[in-house]
Amino acid sequence: MIGVDSSTQSTKAAAVDAETGELLALGRAPHTVTGTSGARESDPEQWWTALGAAVRAAVRTAGVPAASVTGIAVAGQQHGLVTLGPGGRPLRPALLWNDTRSAPQGAALAALLGGPTAWPERTGSVPAASMTAAKWQWLREHEPRHAAAATAVRLPHDFLTERLTGQAVTDPGDASGTCWYRTGDGRYDPEVLDLIGLDPTLLPAVAPGGATRVGTLAPAAAEALGLPTTVAVAAGTGDNMAAAVGLGLGAGGLLDHPVVSLGTSGTVFAATRARPADPALAGFAATDGTYLPLGCTLNCTLAVDRFAALLGLEREDVLPGASSGVVVLPYLDGERTPDLPHAAGLVTGLRHTTDPRAVLGAAYEGAAFTVLRALGRLLVACGLDPADPAVRDRPLRLVGGGARGRAWTETVRRLSGRPLLVPAADELVALGAAALAAGAVTGADPVALARDWGTGSGRELPPVPRDETTWNRVEDVLSAAAPTLLTGGETR
């Protein structure tokens, strides 16, 4: 099986043994992201080129015949707006999930149709800069010719799946990140589409789930990937939904088990049968009929690495910031949870005697605090009490690039006070996509399959006492700075 993780920065293609879940090989190819002052764009054609290169590399490195590949699925970065014209070619670079230029459009949409408290009941989430509906509105207002010329509107994973099969299809999970899909009854929302002037015929059909078989490789796709046309193609899903599958979270596995993902962005999510409606969270659908409420922060590992570079330090060369009274809110790209799209970073508590390593430690603490604060909202939205020992003692599953770093792991342990489970598998999104591909071929439940593979198992770390002093200090600074952060932030 081939599982594809088409993320913001690169494409990874995992060649996986369908029987055991063994990762046989991983192919990689980079993406280019451009833009300044809140703009973040990529050419979708490079995603397609990267997919072909990554798949070919994976199959070659695995040393298996191409004819042995029977299924493929794509998991893609969520929310991105891909506008296509004649021949299915992009009209312009895609607006990516972390493009914050659409913040005014998101705010304007959120005020309509009953306001921010009504949107979660309708679409699961409140429109914000990240959501695709806000990006479409931005395009209509700033590039009306491109909006008018669009013959199709896709999400990144939809675009790639359509290139693979020729079929325009998405899944409930990725569709739930648009704010024009109703998570309660699984259909596009005609009122929202009318509000934003989007013709529903421009959108792909919604498959029942990410493991739905939507076709086989089209001849041109088979040639580009070096695979036979008999390869089954699953509907695929968004990257967060695929990670949940890779962790064995969902109808066929664990429910209400929280995950903290430390990557370019920091996310917290849990698979649940409940359909939470908290305006502070993204109320996503999962790809298997359950729900995947999620909190996302824009500033995580990349922001902390930027502080390390500014200070001339290695990323692990840290001291706890609270030990010297330093607090950092590393909101270098605005912020999403809390919703502060125009925020800048803030550093406070500096003195002549401040050790630069404490400043870096405070950047870790500020980023981890923001992620864990979102986790608290998530647990409440799932009907769980964060203070309940049965909840508090349940391990956090810590994933993403940051989970491999000592400083990140120890900061999360100290600020959460909870045990951690760090899965041994590195490529959970790609492995989740491979499980979807296997489901498309065999009809098996991909979540149960991933559980059998054991991709969510790993190293367990016992809890340490929660650092209430640091938590309260960062919370006090955030509360005091919030009015300034709403209008652009300051550094002092």
Residue range 178-199: mean pLDDT, rounded = 97
> In the predicted model, what is the mean pLDDT of the chain?
94
How far apart CA 413 and CA 411 sit, in angstroms, is: 5
pLDDT at 469: 94
pLDDT at residue 486 is higher than 70:
no
The sign of the CA dihedral 221, 222, 227, 230 is positive
pLDDT at residue 70 is higher than 80:
yes
Measured between alpha carbons, how far apart are the two ends of the chain, in Å?
A: 52
Q: Which of 1-5, 140-144, 296-300 has the lowest mean pLDDT?
A: 296-300
Summarised one tens digit per residue, pLDDT across range 342-370 is 889 999 999 999 999 999 999 999 999 99
Q: Which of 166-175, 303-312, 337-346, 374-383 has the lowest mean pLDDT?
A: 337-346
Residue 359 near residue 325 (C-beta atoms within 8 A): no
Domains of the chain and any CATH numbers: 2-240 (3.30.420.40)
Q: How would DSSP label each residue in 335-364?
A: BTTTTBTT---EEE---TT--HHHHHHHHH
How far apart CA 409 and CA 76 sit, in angstroms, is: 26
In the chain, how many H helices and how many E strands?
Answer: 17, 24
Q: How many residues does the chain have?
A: 492
Residue range 132-151: mean pLDDT, rounded = 98
Half-sphere exposure of 200 (CA within 13 A, CB side): 13
pLDDT at 298: 87
Work out the pLDDT band at 488, boundaries 50, 70, 90: low
Catalytic positions are 239
What residues form DSSP beta bridges with 30?
A: 10
Work out the pLDDT band at 490, boundaries 50, 70, 90: very low
Residue 78 near residue 181 (C-beta atoms within 8 A): no
pLDDT at 481: 86
Q: How many CB atoms lie within 10 A of CB 310?
A: 12
Summarised one tens digit per residue, pLDDT across range 213-268 is 999 999 999 999 999 999 999 999 999 999 999 999 998 888 888 999 998 889 99
Residue range 15-25: mean pLDDT, rounded = 96
How far apart CA 436 and CA 235 sit, in angstroms, is: 8
Residue 267 near residue 321 (C-beta atoms within 8 A): no
Report residue 91 as tokens: 């009209």
**Burial track 66-76 (b if 16+ CB lie within 10 A, e otherwise):** eeebbbbbbbb
Residue range 138-163: mean pLDDT, rounded = 98
pLDDT at residue 30 is higher than 70:
yes
Q: Which of 121-135, 238-252, 269-283, 452-466 has the lowest mean pLDDT?
A: 269-283
What residues form DSSP beta bridges with 282?
A: 294
| Site of tokens 């395009």 | 139
Q: Which of 148-157, 332-341, 427-436 has the lowest mean pLDDT?
A: 332-341
The pair phi, psi for residue 296, each rounded to 5°, is: -135, 135
Q: Which of 61-75, 77-91, 317-331 has the lowest mean pLDDT?
A: 317-331
Summarised one tens digit per residue, pLDDT across range 406-425 is 999 999 999 999 999 999 98
Closest by Cα among 243, 33, 45 to 156:
45
**Burial track 312-340 (b if 16+ CB lie within 10 A, e otherwise):** eeebeebbbbbebebbbbbbbbbbbbbbb
Helix, strand, or coil (residue 469): helix
Residue range 330-338: mean pLDDT, rounded = 86
pLDDT at residue 487 is higher than 80:
no
The pair phi, psi for residue 358, each rounded to 5°, is: -70, -35
pLDDT at residue 492 is higher than 60:
no
pLDDT at 351: 93
Work out the pLDDT band at 489, boundaries 50, 70, 90: very low
Residue range 105-124: mean pLDDT, rounded = 95
CB within 8 Å of 37: residues ≥ 6 apart: 101
